[in-house]
A and B are shown apart, each in its own frame.
Chain A
Amino acid sequence: MAEPSRTTLQNRFGRSGPRTGSDRKNSGFGRLLIVVYAVFSLSAGVRSLYQLATEFSVAPLAISLSTISAAIYVLATIALAKSGPGWHRVATVAVVVELVGVLGVGLLSVLEPQLFPKASVWSHFGAGYGYVPLVLPIVGLVWLWLTRPSRRSGRL
């Protein structure tokens, strides 16, 4: 049998007692989804802040849209990580807005490329990020549907 792990750091910095504030939405696969959303919040957020500071005048529309998309990723990350039916609704709204955004901006960037001299996160349906921005809201909505509060199977 394996000897117990040394957990000095965990005992020093971790919270003791049972975990609270978790439901089906933010456990299991939901945790992975939260990590992916957090990565996107971080990268889209830093990138849009940088563009706002340095090259806003070059592509005001694209950079404004990038900033809005970063804010939506942050909101979705928080709402996915929180528990309760209220946060489930917030997460659903954020992910729907994200899906509409990536489809709308993607279409606009194909039809009117002159509006996007600098790429935004959602340009060309997120091609610059391996189309993850297009797939992510779809996966998110499926997950939110499977973990909807009205569905009473399993633990909640």
Chain B
Amino acid sequence: MLWGYDGWFWASVVLGALSCVICLVQAARGRAPDDFSQGSVLVLEAFLLVYAVGSVFLPVLGPDPSGSLLEYWGYLLTALLIPAGTFVWSLVERSRWSTLILAAAGPVVAVMVYRMNFIYYYQ
């Protein structure tokens, strides 16, 4: 089933897993959010911005969406809020628990991109 998903999805899995591991390691070391953990969620945010631009061209260059484009963009806009929100949170809350919250961004982004793929190709 998973082999029917596109490069965007696999990129989000790799970046999300990397970010999650970095943040978990930093949290286990008792570190407050630093360049590694905060930087990793900013990379996720940058990826989602590129993905959003790609999503504008996807219906033109790729296949037609099989599910609702409105729902797709609902997921995408929500996904864009997640790394940005955890980053802002980490600027205010300076503790290892905040680093743990940063770790949640990666898996959530991967799941959101999975949902968007599903909506676009299979729904």
Contact = CB atoms under 8 A, between A and B. Distances in A.
Contact of A46 (B29, B33, B77): B77
Contacts of B71: 50
A50 B70 CA distance: 8
B93 interface: yes
B78 A42 contact: yes
Interface of B: 26, 29-36, 38-39, 42, 68, 70-71, 74, 77-78, 81, 85, 87, 89, 91-94, 97, 101
The DSSP consensus for interface residues of chain B is helix
A2 B39 CA distance: 20
A156 interface: no
Contacts of A43: 78
Interface residues of A, number: 21
A96 B68 CA distance: 36
26 contacts: A2-B29, A2-B30, A2-B31, A5-B26, A5-B32, A5-B34, A5-B35, A6-B34, A6-B36, A7-B35, A8-B35, A9-B35, A10-B33, A10-B35, A13-B91, A14-B92, A19-B92, A42-B78, A42-B81, A46-B74, A46-B78, A50-B70, A50-B71, A50-B74, A53-B70, A54-B70
